[in-house]
Amino acid sequence: MKFVKMHGTSNDYIVIDARDVSADWRRLAQVMCNRHTGIGSDGILLVTSSSSAQIKMRMFNPDGSEAEMCGNGIRCLAKFVLDRGICSIEDGVLTVETLSGIKTIQVTWNGDQVTQVRVDMGYAELNPSRIPVNIEDGTTPTLDYPLTVEGIDLVLAFVSMGNPHAVAFIDTPVEDFPLQRVGPVVENHPIFPQRVNLSIVNTKGKDQVSARVWERGVGETLGCGTGACAIGVASRLKGFTEDYVNVSLPGGIIAVTLTNDYSVVLDGPAEEVFSGEWLDC
């Protein structure tokens, strides 16, 4: 089975053209994503056929769970299908079906290669019951929910970008936060019936934040597209930033643009690293 290794702001993926391939994808994700005995990645992306869009994306985390959406991943998938002529731009866009709906994509070319990808991520979901978060006070939006984990007091804002996010703005540097200890506890906290992604954020100005993200089913990653979107939404709702914000993550900067109704557009790079063939299918 042929694959391509790609990344968006160092959030790395194994991309497979699975239109004519059948496999136990949950098992393969666990094996292929292993950084010691496999290829190593933050997930596998499958290109599959769609009856409602030009192409469909499926994404499996390293623990074998399937994700509803992946902001960095969909940028890589767009580059993959366009660079190879699997799809072409129609009426200025590429449409991709995901478990969280159809996403519309625009790209920047350098010659015959896609270098930058702009994704219309759709509307942020702010209703706790639909994120989902099980809390007694289901105020919409919920921006200041107190949660104490591992002796650390967090104040969380809840956002879904097709997948659930909890965002905590802190005063101490994000580099010093014990994310490896706190992240898995928050991810699996009982108030999150589908688990959750956790972002720890420092505000740097009206158009700049820095963050680290613990991803559900993955662990800490160098970049997170849906996490950047959730951060952008939460920071504007709390009055920290405005309609445009650069989210600086360990792997690079992702640009997030918001509208008044909290529709979100994500801009960032997509890069191909290497290709190969996986023999154990």
Catalytic residue annotation? 70, 224
Instruction: Indicate where the chain has its CATH 3.10.310.10 domain(s).
Output: 2-120+268-277, 128-261
Which of these, 267, 199, 184, 204, lies nearest to 234 by C-alpha position? Answer: 199
Q: What is the pLDDT along the chain (281 residues), one digit of tens a residue?
A: 999 999 999 999 999 999 999 999 999 999 999 999 999 999 999 999 999 999 999 999 999 999 999 999 999 999 999 999 999 999 999 999 999 999 999 999 999 999 999 999 999 999 999 999 999 888 899 999 999 999 999 999 999 999 999 999 999 999 999 999 999 999 999 999 999 999 999 999 999 999 999 999 999 999 999 999 999 999 999 999 999 999 999 999 999 999 988 999 999 999 999 999 998 76
Choosing among 3.10.310.10, 3.30.2350.10, 3.30.2310.20, 2.60.120.460, the CATH entry for 2-120+268-277 is 3.10.310.10
9 in Cβ contact with 222 (< 8 Å):
yes
Question: CATH second-level architecture of 128-261?
Answer: Roll (3.10)
